[in-house]
Amino acid sequence: MRTQFYNYICNLQDTITTALEKVDGKSRFQEDLWERAEGGGGRTRVIENGAVFEKGGVNISGVHGSLPETMQTHFNVSEASFYACGLSLVLHPINPNAPTVHANWRYFELYDSQGNIADQWFGGGLDLTPYYLVEEDAIHFHQSCKDVCDRHHPSFHQQYKKRCDDYFWNTHRNEARGVGGLFFDYLKPGQKTMEQWFAFVTDVADHFLDAYIPIIEKRKELPYTPAQREWQEIRRGRYVEFNLVHDKGTLFGLKTNGRIESILMSLPPRVQWKYDHQPAANSPEAELLAVLKSPKNWV
């Protein structure tokens, strides 16, 4: 399974980066191949200063080794080793009318002291972070997610949509990071076989471009003002806060001596933190915050 999934994400990275370069039309992805001293490595691809994307990354990795003590405590195991692979992407468009998007699909194996698989699971999802609320875009994104989920189980969309809303929640701000999408973790043998979970996770990943590209194509060339750009940078600050304070993937990478440049590629290049910033009442900015304070069902 680990070989099958790693081969899959290698091909998926090629598919996604090729499509995004076509959308941008100016910049191309810079590729870095790297190795991890403890075992494994990855392929990082970053795009910057494009016509559409101010910064973005589409990274794959496959790492293995001894589980650090902090993670042994987290998984309630001792003297374990692990293997983890996945694809993670974040795209920050220049235009504040265009939303940031994040996605991740991963596979994890945990081994006992004899090297036998003690546990294995899939995780991942995708989520949308707009700076201005366009209901049409939110509905399209969530409908794309629901269409995939419904092919695998009638309860998956409602279940994983709620988990996304719960997970991407900035508790110290009491607001969502964005308008959500899907989030799933610890997909293990039981409700489905690992082969069936593989089919589900890869189906979600295969339709990422269908969920996002139509949105970015509609918004990438809309006019915007310096004030809208400033609002985008303020909201990006909340994105940074979530990634550095709450995000499990970021914390896992930092605690397992992950490649710092790949881990932090998710951070936007231009960000602001203004003291106690409050948007004007009944403004488009305030409309966004109202939805982020109380997530809604879009489909």
Classify residue 126 by its DSSP letter.
E
Q: Strand locations in 49-167, DSSP E?
A: 53-66, 81-93, 100-111, 117-129
d(CA 42, CA 45): 10
Look up residue 253 and give its amino acid: G
What is the enclosing helix (H) or strand (E) of 33? Answer: strand 30-35
Whether 24 and 42 have beta carbons less than 8 Å apart is answered as no
Instruction: Measure Cα distances from 37 to 63, 94, 188, 263, 280 in Å.
Output: 10, 36, 29, 16, 51
Residue 185, SS3? strand
140 a catalytic residue: no
* Cβ neighbourhood burial of 186 (10 Å; 0-12, 13-18, 19+): exposed
Q: Which listed residue (102, 140, 142, 157) is catalytic? A: 102
Q: Are strands 40-48 and 30-35 parallel, antiparallel or unpaired?
A: antiparallel
* Residues of the chain by 3-state class (helix, strand, coil), percent to 5: 45, 25, 30
- DSSP string of 156-201? HHHHHHHHHHHHSEETTTTEESSSEEEEEEEE-BTTB-HHHHHHHH
d(CA 108, CA 135): 35
d(CA 84, CA 86): 7
Residues recognised as catalytic: 102
